Structure 1
Amino acid sequence: MAYSLRIPGTGLLLAVLLTAAPLASRAQGTVTLVGKVSGKTADSVAVSIRENLLDPKEQTTYAAVNDRGEFRLAVQVSGPTRADLVYDDDVADLFLEPGMALEVKFKGNDLAATVRYKGKGAEPNTFLAEMDERFTEVDGFQVLPENIMFYEAGFLHFLDYRRKEQRKFYENTIDNEHYSAAFRDYINSEIDYSYANDRLTYQDLREQVVATEGRLKMTPTYYDFLNDKALINNPVALRSELYQEFLLNYVHYMATSGGHQRTDPSFYQVCYDIAKSQLSGPTRPIIMGRVLQESFRFGHVKQSAAMLADFRAADAKNEYFPVLQQDFETHKAFAIGAPAPNFHLTTASGDSVSLRSFAGKLVYINFWRTTSGLALRDLPYAADLIKRFDGKNIVFLNVALDENEPAWKQLVLGKKLPGVHVRAAGGMRSAIAKAYAIQDVPAYFLLAEDGTFLNTKPKRLSSRAAVDEIKQSFGKAGTYSSTLPSSAGK
């Protein structure tokens, strides 16, 4: 369950995890679900649990739905846990504890809105469904789309009102007899951290959504709620995904408040150190690991390797390191600082060119082909961009993934296209296309002067922001190197 929307592309982290952190003291056990689907639309039902918060792989248990719409499944759980009941393309929240025996009924065309529970464990799962219906599914209780428009005082009033209504619903519904302490802690944490997370991310989110007004200046006391140490280190809240998201946003906030921006080479190292120094208990390695996963994707490969080595020493039970090690191996080939694959190709005029021949220069690589309308539309912008950086220490390298060599040559030579133009025989099946994991064109890469990746998704040639991005990239590889630990490059 979560009360904040996910916002793709904003850089904000708003409730994306699926279950609670594994705790050493949690009891092992089985949960059974027997159910009936009215109006069957799929042949199976599933329950998905993410046992390890740093592992994207879910433990999914499937059960067949027979011709009468009936199903039965048993799920192994390691303790009180968030889970997803999945049918067709629909999902409903579950809270599972060892020993639960649920009877589930729903309509095949609308699981989330029609699901009903009976049996042992029915009360907490019914509460989740009703909580979602009363709050999550009502726009008036969401930050987006309308409430983000409020200025500070109005937004705080909205958050206070929502929390008050959630508490009222909780107090009028939940008792100690039918709801375990673990579930009560979970719901209380969801309420508290939906408030805290939305308050923490409000200024950044509003700046992005309400672009016409610019960034709000907050009152001096707006962020004082973060001084509550119990809010930051709260082991009771471990089962809440919003608590973990709040902590990651908190680490980001502390880093930026200290003058470190996301574009700084040291940003993820700073975030990692904040998590390591300010968090404690089982939450600490989870948030350190989350920062590492960000670094694997957006940080320097050598810096990530150094932090991963440090994490291994901190993960005494080896609970998370294997997952992080695998994630690092998956992303390191295209991480910042990783060497770009070398190649030898032939230009339209017949000259042989290798990537290494451009050592010491920025290299903007444009993968394209003559049959791609989108790639062709970028050509005039490419010419303008090349003209802007004439005489600068940068090469614009255009790699055509064309099967038709004559057509490519005719276009390049006939139009006198600027920049360096080469063609990869075999097109999308060529060695270079595989080496750079090209799925479609156009695709762009910005390489540093030392031949390493600087940006695997730079601004497009047609983007006005491409000029500023390139200007800021000269010498940036050296800036990254200066932030690395002395042992990172060894």
Structure 2
Amino acid sequence: MRFKNIAQAILPVFFVLLLALQAQAQKTATITGKISNPVSDSALVELYTLPASYVGKSFTAALNASGEFKITVPLAEPMVAELVHGPESMILFLQPGNDLDVRVNAEDFLNSIKYKGSGANENTYLVQFELKFEEEEDYQVLPNNVYKKEGEFLQFLEERRQDQKNFFEKYVKKTPVSEAFKNYAKAQMEYSYANDRLTYVEVRNRVGGLTPKLSASYYDYLKKMDLNLPGATRNQAYLDFLINYFQFKALGDRRGNVEKDYYPIMYKMVKEELKGPAKDMMMSRIISQSARFGYIPDTDAMFADFKKQVQDPQYLTYVQNQYKQYQKVGMGSQAPDFTLLSASGDSISLQHLKGKLVYLGFWRPLCGICQVDQQAYKYFVNQLAEKGITFVQVTVGEELANWKKTLQEKNYPGMQLYSPDMEDQVVRAYEVKNFPSYFLISPEGTIIKTNARRPGYAEGAREIAHLVDQYRDSRTK
């Protein structure tokens, strides 16, 4: 009888512990896997915890002798992550409770990757979607489709969107996926269409094409856009569209001085048009950009309002950290010196460039925005040819042999320098966390502009030229 009483006392405790363990498991995701022909001794999962901020947490595991690994990450909600091994990476869609098994050959990452377990259906879709729509040139705006006339270009976009919808519907009919993932996938289709249509003129101008003639109704589709689709905030296409959408509207705004009030105008529009997480996301991004570009009075005013508006405390912490960051490497401060390997095999330091205006850029080969910038860079340099700027590009995180080979094939403009990884002194000294990042440095070695405008930005060359003129005018007074 005594043992029976003990058992009866233990059982409730056991079930409480079991429920606690189950609850804990639902707040994590586990990725196990095996990498054939590995090129490094580890695998890494980068968890993008805060949309639009590029703030993330890294989780690394060593590969055993068979190339196997296991990584468990904390996860309170569905989230986008990146599986990284050496120079290769793959986007993951993770959800609480996932136990995802990954098998991949490092020599052919995209074509060999296979998933099993919970979360496999969602991530298999991402691989198949990428192979069909992102690897196939016929579905891309660049290099050829952007040169189509308006009618042909819109037909291309509509046909691509319909093909994507058909692909998605056929997949989910046979393969169950979560509601959160359905929202994510739908956002990818809708906002990639909207963004490519919105940036048609900008991209065409950037690659040196003639400005297309547009019908009066070309932008009318924006009036019908739902800016608040559920679950879209984790999708990069949504973020890209919102950035370009509010920039487009701000530049066309006639209620204020856009040149002077660019960020406050966008901030006000975001408050009026977005809701919930998307509103927090974009307000925090605009404040961050304003701080990075040195618009201190505007930033202070927006931040004071943001503290009253924000719903997610993570964004408040993020914006506060941005303030701290740009106080360290800010405009007027001394640019950190560096000594790096050049494409010609010499060592180049910032000190060697003293007396020259320097446009310093940091980029990574696997960064999509960086690739866009590289396509625009030659045109960017030509636009600024009369300003006497020395253009310096620092490639971060590529294998040295691949870097040299790429430079021989691509013939990028400007002075090319090499930084081995994110832990390199120059990356840490300039506090580079986002790619690409650009700095404009005076002949005296002080920073004129932190996070200067990108080559791929439509008004980038004009803004850099304006900064150079401002700097030179200040030196003559």
Same fold (TM over 0.5): yes
The CA distance in 2 between the partners of 1:275 and 1:248, in whole Å, is 10
The CA distance in 2 between the partners of 1:261 and 1:249, in whole Å, is 19
Alignment match of 1:310 (pick from 305, 311, 314): 305
What letter corresponds to residue 207 of structure 1 in structure 2?
Answer: N
- The answer to whether 1:104 aligns with 2:115 is no
Alignment match of 1:267 (pick from 255, 259, 262): 262
The CA distance in 2 between the partners of 1:453 and 1:108, in whole Å, is 41
Alpha-carbon distance, 1:224 to partner: 0.8
Structure 1 residues 202-217: aligned runs within 5 Å: 202-211=200-209, 213=210, 215-217=211-213
The CA distance in 2 between the partners of 1:99 and 1:373, in whole Å, is 55
Q: Indicate conservation of the 8 Å contact 2:441/2:448, yes or no.
A: no
Alpha-carbon distance, 1:464 to partner: 12
Give 2:114's aligned residue: 116
Give 1:225's aligned residue: 221
Secondary structure of the residue aligned to 1:109 is helix
Give 1:86's aligned residue: 84
Q: Indicate conservation of the 8 Å contact 1:35/1:104, yes or no.
A: yes
Q: Indicate conservation of the 8 Å contact 1:28/1:76, yes or no.
A: no
The CA distance in 1 between the partners of 2:284 and 2:463, in whole Å, is 32
Give 1:129's aligned residue: 127
The CA distance in 1 between the partners of 2:324 and 2:117, in whole Å, is 45
Range with bigger deviation, 192-201 or 37-46: 37-46
Alignment match of 2:314 (pick from 311, 319, 325): 319
Give 1:277's aligned residue: 272
- The answer to whether 1:445 aligns with 2:409 is no
Q: Give unmatched runs, 5+ long, in structure 1.
A: 1-26, 342-366, 378-387, 389-435, 477-490
Secondary structure of the residue aligned to 1:191 is helix
Alpha-carbon distance, 1:470 to partner: 5.7
The CA distance in 2 between the partners of 1:464 and 1:182, in whole Å, is 42
Provide closer, same or farther for how the CA distance between residues 340 and 100 of structure 1 changes in structure 2, counting only shifts above 3 A.
Answer: closer
What letter corresponds to residue 160 of structure 1 in structure 2?
Answer: E
Alignment match of 2:56 (pick from 55, 58, 63): 58
Secondary structure of the residue aligned to 2:55 is coil
Alpha-carbon distance, 1:64 to partner: 1.4
Alpha-carbon distance, 1:47 to partner: 1.4
Aligned sequence identity (%): 31
What letter corresponds to residue 307 of structure 2 in structure 1?
Answer: R
Alpha-carbon distance, 1:68 to partner: 1.1
Q: Calculate the aligned-residue CA RMSD, in Å.
A: 3.9
Q: Indicate conservation of the 8 Å contact 2:357/2:441, yes or no.
A: no
- The answer to whether 1:241 aligns with 2:236 is yes
Provide closer, same or farther for how the CA distance between residues 301 and 333 of structure 1 changes in structure 2, counting only shifts above 3 A.
Answer: farther
Give 2:194's aligned residue: 196
Provide closer, same or farther for how the CA distance between residues 45 and 262 of structure 1 changes in structure 2, counting only shifts above 3 A.
Answer: farther
Post-superposition CA distance 1:181-215 (Å, at most 9, x none): 1111111111111101111111122122134x2x3
Matched length: 354
Give 1:297's aligned residue: 292
The CA distance in 1 between the partners of 2:431 and 2:69, in whole Å, is 43
Provide closer, same or farther for how the CA distance between residues 102 and 374 of structure 1 changes in structure 2, counting only shifts above 3 A.
Answer: same
Q: Indicate conservation of the 8 Å contact 1:149/1:210, yes or no.
A: no
Alpha-carbon distance, 1:250 to partner: 1.1
What letter corresponds to residue 442 of structure 2 in structure 1?
Answer: F
Q: Indicate conservation of the 8 Å contact 2:29/2:98, yes or no.
A: yes
Give 2:413's aligned residue: none
Q: Indicate conservation of the 8 Å contact 1:87/1:111, yes or no.
A: no
Alpha-carbon distance, 1:245 to partner: 2.0
Give 1:385's aligned residue: none
The CA distance in 2 between the partners of 1:118 and 1:173, in whole Å, is 16
Provide closer, same or farther for how the CA distance between residues 182 and 261 of structure 1 changes in structure 2, counting only shifts above 3 A.
Answer: same
Secondary structure of the residue aligned to 1:194 is helix
Q: Give unmatched runs, 5+ long, in structure 2.
A: 1-24, 335-348, 359-385, 387-428, 433-438, 454-460
More helix, by proportion? 2
